[in-house]
Amino acid sequence: VNVANEVVTQPSNANAAPFIKAALRDVKAYLSSKASSVLVSYSTTHPPNGREQWRDMLAYYLTCASAATSVDLYALNSYSCCANSSFSASGDSTLTHDFSSLPVPAYLSEFGCVEAVGTGERPWSEVSALFSRPMTDTFSGGVAFTYFPQPSGVDYGLLNVNADQLTTSELPVSTTLPPTPNTQLCNCVEQNAYSCILNAASFNSPNIIGTLTGQACSYLGQRAGSCAPILAGGATGTYGNYSFCSSGQRVQWAMSEYYETTQFDAQSCHFAGNATSKTPPAPIDAAFGSCLAQYPVAVMVPRPDGTSGGGPASGTSMTSAPSATGSAEPSGGSNAAAGSGKGSVMAVMIAAMIAVVGGGCSLL
pLDDT, one tens digit per residue, over 60-104 is: 999 998 999 999 999 999 888 877 777 888 888 888 998 999 999
pTM for the full model?
A: 0.59
Q: What does the alpha-carbon distance between residue 330 and residue 80 come to, in Å, rounded to a whole number?
A: 34
Ranges assigned E (strand) in the chain: 2-5, 41-45, 73-77, 106-111, 139-144, 196-198, 232-233, 238-239, 275-277, 300-302, 308-312
Whether residue 51 has pLDDT greater than 50: no
Q: Work out the pLDDT band at 172, boundaries 50, 70, 90.
A: low
Question: What pairs with residue 2 in β-bridges?
Answer: 41, 349
CATH value of 2-164 in 3.90.180.10, 3.20.20.80, 3.40.50.300, 3.40.640.10: 3.20.20.80
Higher pLDDT, 335 or 265: 265
Q: Write the pLDDT tens digit of every residue in 312-333.
A: 333 333 233 333 333 333 333 3
CATH value of 183-294 in 3.30.470.10, 3.50.50.60, 1.20.58.1040, 3.10.180.10: 1.20.58.1040
Q: Where in the chain is the domain with CATH 1.20.58.1040?
A: 183-294
Q: Where in the chain is the domain with CATH 3.20.20.80?
A: 2-164
The pLDDT, as a whole number, for residue 364 is 34
| Contact predicate 302/30, CB 8 Å | yes
Secondary structure tally for the chain: helices H, strands E: 9, 11
Q: Write the pLDDT tens digit of every residue in 132-144.
A: 889 999 999 998 8
DSSP string, 164-195: -----SS----SPPPPPP-HHHHHHHHHHH-S
Q: Write the pLDDT tens digit of every residue in 274-316.
A: 999 998 878 888 888 899 999 887 777 776 655 554 433 333 3
Query: Can you tell me the mean pLDDT for 239-263?
Result: 92
